[in-house]
Chains A and B, each alone.
Chain A
Amino acid sequence: MAAFQALWRPRWEALLRRAERRLPALTRYRMPEALPIALHGRRVYILPTGFGVFFGVTLVTMLLGALNFNNNSAMLLTFLLAGAVFMSLSRTVANLARLELTTLRGMPVHAGQPASLVLRFGVRDGRAHPTCRIAGGPVEREFDLPADGGEIELALPTLRRGWLAVGRLTLSTEYPFGMFRAWSVLNPDQSLLVYPAPEPGAPPLPRGEARDGHARPTPGGDDWQGLREFRTGDARRLVAWKASARHDRLLVKEFASPVADELLLDFERLGSLPNEQRIARLTRWVLDAARLQTPFTLVVPGQRIGPGYDAHHVERCLRELALLP
């Protein structure tokens, strides 16, 4: 089965892509769209579920029995049930068709962390919309939407740095009876920025080219800065043994001095490393420097950012790192 899928999945997807290119009308409601996306009847699709088919077969059996025995009460009951099933069909569609994806927020994350996507759904008919399900890629969530709309958080997996298109989200519902599944594809024209993953176990911050010769951070600094996790290359005397014993992992004392000397994080200086590792290490350093509130300057090909150490500066640096080719 798995081999079969591995063989055919790429071909099938290629075929779908081709079909979409050739027949844009087919996929009109799957193309990226600007927010807000209002759902309506023509973009909500519906099919019976397995249970729906089973219930339908039962109804047909009941009808045949009623007809055969000319049993009018049974026939009436069967039609009553069939009527309720039909009514549920329109309720299923209406449970989606009156929704609207109004806004979409996402905080940038580092690659590898799940990107928390907050979708705000508006409700256009002032009713509660129970038991909807949203699926994006491998993740899905079920939720009840109250009559005045609500926000749904979806944690998308991230693999690579750079822009992550939100992509196709499938909003579906089987309410009320679970006999029909209605769905609609949302493809909001939005992307999330994914910062590079910081390099694990990276060397400590390089000594800055300080004008006064001090290095950051220094064990001899006069400001107790805090504890941080041990990294290879840390001097043994800096280890905070007592605190480490308490926390069950190695912690290192950090000191800083408020001396404003400049730290230069240069992409070109890490020339010996592969491209992605350079970016990962710089990311780690940017984060470390931000934590230590050390002003730094980031130099990447074609840009020199800084110096600075406030949140805005850090964001800008991470963004540039994320978007490096």
Chain B
Amino acid sequence: MSKRVPLGWPAFLSTTIVLIGAIALHAAWMPVALLAAIAATLALRVSLRRRRSRPERAILRLLLLAALLAGVYFSLGNLLGREAGSALLSALLVLKLLETDTRRDARLIVTVSCFLAMCSFLFQQSPMQVAFACIVVVLALATLVQLQSLASRDMADRRWRAFDSDVMAGAGRLALWSVPFAAACFLFFPRLGAPLWGAPGDTFTGRTGISDTMEPGALSSLALDDTPAMRVSFQGAMPAKADRYWRGLVLWWFDGRTWAGSGAYQGFRDEPSVEARGETYQYDVMLEPTDQRWLFMLDAPLSVPAGATMGGDIQVRWRQPVRDVLGYHGVSSSRYVMQRELGSTQRYMALSLPRGGNPRARALAATWRDAGLDARAIARRGLAMIDNSFIYTLEPPLLARDSIDDFLFSTRAGYCEHYASAFTYLMRAAGVPARVVIGYQGGQYNAAGDYLTIRRADAHAWSEIWVENEGWVRIDPTAEISPANIADDALSAMEDDADAGWLRSLHERWDLVGFWWNRAVVEFGQIRQQRLLQQFGIDRATPAQLIGLMAVGATLAIALAGWGLSRRRVRQRADGPLAAWRRLCGRLARLGVARQPSEGPRDFAVRAASALPEFAPALDSVSRRFVTLRYAAVNDPADGELAGFEREARELERALSRRYGRRARP
């Protein structure tokens, strides 16, 4: 099979389209300069190849190879890792296209394009991405069919036309009928408990939402990002929106500007203790990848999801950074007592402040402390500070070096992180143990799927103070701002939950697709597979059992597809006159005058006329016209002729319906 099969222009064009599709799947994370270089190379090759079918000159190929490699290296900094890998593969494929002039080369490009399409899932597994990748793969299959056809070797064809409709239909049918097979394999293929080699996480650069520190602007940058962060479905009751604080991570250290977590020292010696004081809620979370270890739990969590740990700061950590969609179960209560006893380490950390700075805030807090107020009273004073003069805005003015003083006493405009930061500072300065918690607040209920969608825009920061006998108490200073002081339209629109309408419902539907996709496919792992099989009485399925099940399922699927594919297209599309005639015959049959298979149109018309005498002239005329149209030796009857016949047949049909009703003859 080493024969060199030439490649016609349309087949070359199809191959190029598949390649462009595969590269486009990676466009989101490819440097713009590289994309431009790839586009230019493709355009060059297509225009040259259209003129003359032959590989480009070796010198041109070498130059472009060097240029593209250098481009990848300088725009990505290295040639290893995920981005560089996909960029490199794309560039090499484009270079391969420069010398593609045989069927063999085209097949190579199509095959590697499929691989490239698969690689795009290492970056993004959203339903949209998968849908586009599926389109690319179907186009790839269509190209393979086209490459196989004799017409693909037609070197004279220079039309701008790539895929024939029957080639597309053939490939589409094959792909469609392979869905059951894919589903069977997907369900039962044994999964690996641990990866064979390193996960691609070391180069994780996806947008991650909340980061592990909080400085002014950290959360407001997310305020307009409506990417879903997590989706939660409750079993039973759902807390009110005001109680839906999704606890993420706890920040202790303040350096005058930035709040940071406790770092590696997460456990503290304290045992976590949360006592429920009200209703408990059961829920399942589907967390989008964050590349961070903490999990978001409804405040406050009563149990730890399997595989996670909880420290004394009631912060739940996963065993590794979350790089794929992660599902976990939570139990929480929004009335609780958290850490009735405060350990000495925590007390120390919860009171520590940077040396110096912010003199006015310190002085104010000192007056509260010296007044001998208890923690609750001091907190009330602190909240009272945030009066009508404070503005909630996405674009606060920049703060001076004493950021707390500047915010509290002069700018008085900020986003939630400013409020939480300032309030916590005041509390610590007044001697009340306090800390910052960041996570999400609220979430939008999706009625279609009965779950909550929490978006990155819902990111929020609040404070917790420790009160004798009550433990850590959540205080949200941002909630003190009066709604009239929300500065930005975008923010108020987001706060306004009642903007119902078709757009909203469309948004909800689309979010539901993402939810189902995550639940059914992305998050399906070893555990879910075992759980699925438990429902059928297989407790711990061994890989051998799984393979057996897969074989059975795949065989059934192939049999089903074989039936579907071999089914002859039952009804050939009838030509113009025949379709109208058949409809008329069907109507007559329902009236009790069925045409016998052996009966010609004229004989049938005579018989029908004797059964329905009042329609005799119409039947006679219609059947005559039909016979003329269908059997007369006229190759191309005038258009008017056909339309006239169809109109007449339809009118007769209607007249019959009017006279005898739609069903059967009375």
A residues near B (Cβ < 8 Å) are: 49-51, 54-55, 58, 61-62, 64-84, 86-88, 90-91, 94, 125-127, 130-131, 142-144, 174-179
Contacts and interface: CB of A to CB of B under 8 A. Distances in A.
B546 to A, nearest CB: 13
Given A144-B150, A176-B145, A178-B144, A73 B170 contact: no
B178 A73 contact: no
B118 A66 contact: yes
Contacts of A179: 144
A178 B521 CA distance: 31
30 contacts: A49-B1, A50-B1, A54-B108, A58-B111, A58-B112, A58-B114, A64-B196, A65-B119, A67-B196, A69-B195, A70-B525, A73-B125, A75-B189, A76-B182, A77-B118, A79-B181, A80-B175, A82-B185, A83-B177, A83-B185, A86-B558, A87-B181, A90-B562, A91-B565, A125-B566, A126-B568, A131-B148, A176-B145, A176-B148, A177-B145
B134 A87 contact: no
Nearest to A142: B150
Contacts of A61: 115
A125 B569 CA distance: 11
A74 B137 contact: no
A179 B174 CA distance: 14
- B interface SS class: helix
A240 B15 CA distance: 62
B178 to A, nearest CB: 3
B178 A83 contact: yes
B500 interface: no
B66 interface: no
B130 A77 contact: yes
B230 interface: no
A81 B137 contact: yes
Nearest to A89: B558
User: What are the 10 closest A-B residue pairs judged by CB atoms, nearest first?
Assistant: A83-B178, A83-B181, A79-B182, A79-B185, A80-B182, A74-B121, A73-B121, A177-B144, A73-B125, A84-B178
Given A80-B179, A82-B185, A68 B557 contact: no
B177 to A, nearest CB: 6
Nearest to A85: B178
Nearest to B524: A72
Contacts, number: 159
Given A67-B196, A83-B182, A130-B150, 16 more contacts: A54-B111, A58-B112, A67-B189, A70-B195, A76-B186, A77-B118, A79-B186, A82-B178, A90-B558, A130-B148, A144-B150, A176-B144, A176-B170, A178-B103, A178-B107, A179-B144
B192 interface: yes
Contacts of A51: 104, 107
B338 interface: no
Contacts of A70: 191-192, 195, 324, 525
A239 to B, nearest CB: 46
B133 interface: yes
B117 interface: yes
A91 B174 contact: yes
Given A69-B195, A70-B195, A177-B145, A125 B568 contact: yes
B197 interface: yes
Nearest to B141: A84
Contact of A178 (B112, B130, B148, B199): B148
Contacts of B122: 69, 71, 74
B324 A177 contact: no
Nearest to B136: A77
Contact of A88 (B147, B174, B185, B566): B174
Interface string B81-115: 00000000000000000000001100110011011
B174 A176 contact: yes
A91 to B, nearest CB: 7
